[in-house]
A = this chain, B = another copy of it.
């Protein structure tokens, strides 16, 4: 099977896996659903259709009073030691990586904020999997910061699994079990000169279908980090993109240009013909490299969040600003809301399929604004930002 035909976890996972899925209070069911799709390189089946979606199911979650050592099923937790070693499964090492990243990002945020502390919610699923949601709200520097990790065991419809077709028999394969783990975060500062950051890294595996001989087990990585300022400071954007490029270049020189463009394409607000922000990197379906290399790459990216972002915040958090500056930031926050509620696949499907609303919508800013027919004056600082969102630039 060609790697490009692998089943792909869409950007929906950006929100969906890291943010817990549960059912609504009023209509309890045992399962919640989420969308899959094929690789954008081979978009032959849109599994966001209700037929396919209804076949994908995840157990309902339950709150936990404390963080477990691991969210993996016992059979996956292949290491007796507390710390996964280099011989542990990729699942185990990816879980450790995202939990470490959650700790270090939250520590970094709290240290700079000075005032706010993260509130933590832990949850698990009876059949395995679970997550940790952390939210800091109305801090000294950030108005809202969410950093969530999750591990999900689920079942996807065989139609989503092309390898089963490639190894075609007369037998129709049954549902395919999958594993997914991810970290997802949105950080909205108060100061209009301090940018919003979003990042998400995720790992996905399917089991080989038992009833289709020759159909392989699948895995892939996805994720990205992107910056959304209301005002452009070229040195900040350059620093941010350079840090992403540096992480990419350690592994593969084509990664940065390819993932930079992918990011510009993904965070596109179609009805505005503009991007949500100034991009960064974004990738999905990544399995056409060595698995260990990609695990190291995702780890490097997650570890680059603090050095890419925190120095910018330290520089801008106390910059004096006017009411006009704040109003413009609020208008851009409105765009953030539009992108997340209208386009982000994880958010829209999380909402429509009964996800844990407060976790999904922690990505929304504390406050946002919509003015009728607002057009920044040509040449103004606001216009420059808008121009860069309409015409993505090469920053380095």
Given contacts A341-B337, A367-B368, A368-B367, whether A25 and B273 have CB atoms under 8 Å apart is: yes
Beta-carbon contacts under 8 Å, A341-392 to B: 341-342, 348, 350-352, 354-355, 357-358, 360-362, 364-373, 390
CA distance A123 to B25 in the complex (A): 46
Q: Which residues on B sit within 8 Å (CB–CB) of A367?
A: 330, 367-370
Q: Which residue of chain B has its CB nearest to the CB of A362? A: B372
- Interface contact A273-B27, CB-CB below 8 Å: yes
Q: Which of A271, A334, A342, A372 is most buried by chain B, counting CB atoms within 10 A of its CB?
A: A372
- Interface contact B271-A352, CB-CB below 8 Å: yes
CA distance A390 to B337 in the complex (A): 24
Q: Which residues on B sit within 8 Å (CB–CB) of A337?
A: 337, 341, 368
Given contacts A337-B337, A338-B341, A342-B348, whether A271 and B354 have CB atoms under 8 Å apart is: yes
User: How distant is A339 from chain B, measured CB to nearest CB, in Å?
Assistant: 10
- Interface contact A146-B372, CB-CB below 8 Å: yes
CA distance A366 to B144 in the complex (A): 20
Given contacts A342-B341, A342-B348, A342-B351, whether A144 and B372 have CB atoms under 8 Å apart is: yes
CA distance A362 to B137 in the complex (A): 29
CA distance A358 to B355 in the complex (A): 31
Beta-carbon contacts under 8 Å, A283-306 to B: none
CA distance A24 to B373 in the complex (A): 14
CA distance A102 to B43 in the complex (A): 46
Given contacts A342-B341, A351-B342, whether A272 and B369 have CB atoms under 8 Å apart is: no
Is A69's CB within 8 Å of the partner chain B?
no
Q: Which of A337, A348, A362, A365 is most buried by chain B, counting CB atoms within 10 A of its CB?
A: A337
Q: From the candidates B270, B358, B366, B368, name the one contacting A373 in the complex (CB within 8 A).
A: B358
Q: Which residue of chain B has its CB nearest to the CB of A334? A: B364
Q: Which residues on B sit within 8 Å (CB–CB) of A334?
A: 364
User: How distant is A350 from chain B, measured CB to nearest CB, in Å?
Assistant: 8
- Interface contact B341-A26, CB-CB below 8 Å: no
Q: Which residues on B sit within 8 Å (CB–CB) of A365?
A: 370
CA distance A361 to B335 in the complex (A): 11
7 residue pairs bridging A and B, Cβ less than 8 Å apart: A135-B373, A271-B354, A271-B355, A338-B361, A361-B370, A366-B371, A367-B370
Further contacts, 8 of them, CB under 8 A, given A271-B351, A271-B357, A272-B357 = A146-B372, A271-B355, A330-B367, A358-B373, A362-B372, A367-B370, A368-B369, A368-B370
